[in-house]
Amino acid sequence: MRTPNEMTVAKLKALLERFPDDMPVFVGHPSHDYWHTPLASEMTDPGECSIIWSEYHGTFKMARENTEFHPEDQEETEKSVTVLVLE
């Protein structure tokens, strides 16, 4: 299984030290419209989340808490990694 290794909380804290404490924080993401417009949404409270690698998406996906209706996630959930998610 692929594991996340790019950013840690310590690295994020160090990067944030160069910005003013009162600067608003947004999360950038694609719009999926025809023009692929980059969007910025207000960030909610960060939180812990379990993630698993998705071959289909070519990136990590958030693990479902209830796999009763998604049996395909049962095995993957056992290989999940807990990370900090900024939404």
Q: CA-to-CA distance for 54 and 84, rounded, in angstroms?
A: 18
Q: Is the pLDDT score of 14 beyond 90?
A: yes
Mean pLDDT of 55-75: 69
Averaged pLDDT for residues 29-47: 89
Q: Look at residue 24 and tell me whether its pLDDT is greater than 70.
A: yes
Structural tokens at position 48: 């812990």
Average pLDDT, integer, range 33-49: 90
Instruction: Compare 5 and 44 and report the one with higher pLDDT.
Output: 44
Q: For residue 35, what are the CA distances in angstroms to 30, 38, 39, 58?
A: 10, 9, 11, 22
**19 pLDDT band (50/70/90 cuts)?**
very high
Residue 40 pLDDT:
93
What per-residue confidence (pLDDT) applies to 38? 93
